[in-house]
Amino acid sequence: MVKDVSAQSIVITCIGAGRFRLRSVYVRQDLKNAGAMYLQIFNKNAAIPGTDIPDEVVFLPNQAVSPFVKRLSFSGSPGANDFITGLSFAVCTTPTGAVDVGATKRPFVRIDYDGSTLGGAV
C-alpha cells in the first residue's frame, strides 16, 4: 500500500493502528531554500510530534536547487522494519520537535508499506 501526502497536507499524517511493515520512503521538495526539515516516522497511530519520540528520522537538507528528492528503501529480516502499534509521520523543523515547517514549505511524501492485516509475527 502507498500513502501520498501533498505539500498542503496537515502536520501529522496517521496511516493507522495495527502492525505495518515499512518498505520505502520518497520525499520531494519542489521549493528552493525551504530550509532544513525532518521527516519523523512513528510506531504509533496519531503520534504527537514533540511529545512522542520518532522511531525513524529522515533529514531533509536546505537546498539551493529544486526539486530535491530523497529515496530510502527498508529491507532486512522479517520484523526488522515492523511498526507494531501503528504508523504515522510528520515533517518538522527539528528531529524530535513539534514545529511545523509551514504549509507552503511541506514536501511531498510517499510512504510504501504493508498494512495492518499483517497480524502476529511477520
pLDDT tens digits for 57-82?
A: 999 888 877 788 888 888 766 656 78
Span 21-50, pLDDT tens digits: 888 888 888 888 888 889 999 999 888 899
How far is residue 48 from each of residues 11, 26, 34, 61, 88, measured CA to CA in Å?
A: 10, 22, 23, 23, 9
Domain ranges in the chain are: 2-114
Average pLDDT estimate for 84-96: 90
Q: What SS3 state is found at 31?
A: coil
Least reliable range by pLDDT among 2-6, 14-18, 80-84, 114-118? 114-118
Task: Give the pLDDT band of residue 52 (cuts 50, 70, 90).
Answer: very high
Strand pairing report for 37-42 and 56-60: antiparallel
